[in-house]
Amino acid sequence: MWGSFTAWCLGQSPAVSLASLDVRDLQAFQAARFGMKSADLSLSPRHALRLLRLIDRVLHHHAAETGQPANTAASDWIEAHPEIRYAEAAQADPLPEFLSVAEARHLITFLSDARPRPSLSGSRRDSHLAFTWQQLRNRVAVALQLGGGLAPGDVRVLTVDAPTSRGGRVRERPWKVAVPGNGNSPARETPIAPWAGELLQHWLQVRAEARILGNFLFPSTRSGKPWSKEAQYKAARQVLEEAGLDSSDGGSFRLRHTFALRQLRRGTDSDQVARWLGVEPEAMGKYRRVVSTPEDVI
């Protein structure tokens, strides 16, 4: 968030500095992103509040370093916009959308058609042979969102050495993945469901046999180019549509929410789930409003 804000400031004429920043600049920055999709750096009320709080902290730090009065532009802007100021209030924080148990079961079965299943008979046993490497990539990426709680951005930055098979219950089957850190969360490891591990194991084999280059686990091309936000978004949406599930905007985030809720319903400590998701423990409140007691889930 800070990177996009500073890039905007430096792109103005004249450039906006910490000293010159005022409420009008903040309003212009917000307006420049109004109505844009999240993939294009749109600022939702909650993200706007977080960014403005960050800017306010930077301004106060700058004042302490220089001995000058603090620039209050950020706090003034927050105060003047109640829809932003109360964005994190419980009543303004919508409950996460997630898959029902039946929907999750259906999607897991659908995704698993892309891997070998020798226990089945006839055409179903060999159905995986009809998939192109891109189709398999798309399904495995969706599987890691549902089976590992990864966000779309996490999926795109995974490297080929992210999966860990050693120490798992089944030889050569990945059971966790390492997600690199970014400006919003530290590097972390998160477990993946066995069925997702089976799909990932098959993908690693197909990826090697196809001689796909580069270090990205899910590249865009055989030459190893990174998967763009738009292309990955469209791919996830198509997988959900083919599975007969709603694929409206933000639909794939329901997979991540489903993972979080499944872990909480199994009795996993919420702080541990937060670490797996790469979020602050406070962010788990929206899930706790859905889950009151542990229960058996898929």
What residue has token string 């906006």? 16
Domain 101-288 sits in which CATH superfamily?
Intergrase catalytic core (1.10.443.10)
User: What's the rounded Cα separation, in Å, for the pair 84 and 203?
Assistant: 43
pTM, to two decimals: 0.68
Query: Would you kindly state where each structural domain of the chain is located, as residue ranges?
Result: 2-92, 101-288
Residue 177's H or E segment, with its range, is strand 176-179
pLDDT at 37 (0 to 100): 45
pLDDT at 92 (0 to 100): 52
Q: What is the pLDDT along the chain (298 residues), one digit of tens a residue?
A: 788 889 989 999 999 999 999 999 998 888 877 555 444 445 677 778 888 889 999 999 999 999 989 899 998 888 887 777 766 665 555 678 889 889 999 999 999 999 988 777 666 677 778 899 999 999 999 999 999 999 999 999 999 999 999 998 898 999 999 999 887 778 999 999 999 999 999 999 999 999 999 999 999 999 999 999 999 999 999 999 999 997 664 478 899 999 999 999 999 999 999 999 999 898 898 888 788 555 544 4
- In terms of DSSP H, where are the helices of the chain? 2-10, 23-32, 45-66, 73-80, 82-85, 101-112, 133-148, 152-157, 194-209, 229-242, 253-265, 270-277, 285-288
pLDDT at 140 (0 to 100): 98
Q: Burial level of 40, CB count in 10 A (0-12/13-18/19+)? A: exposed
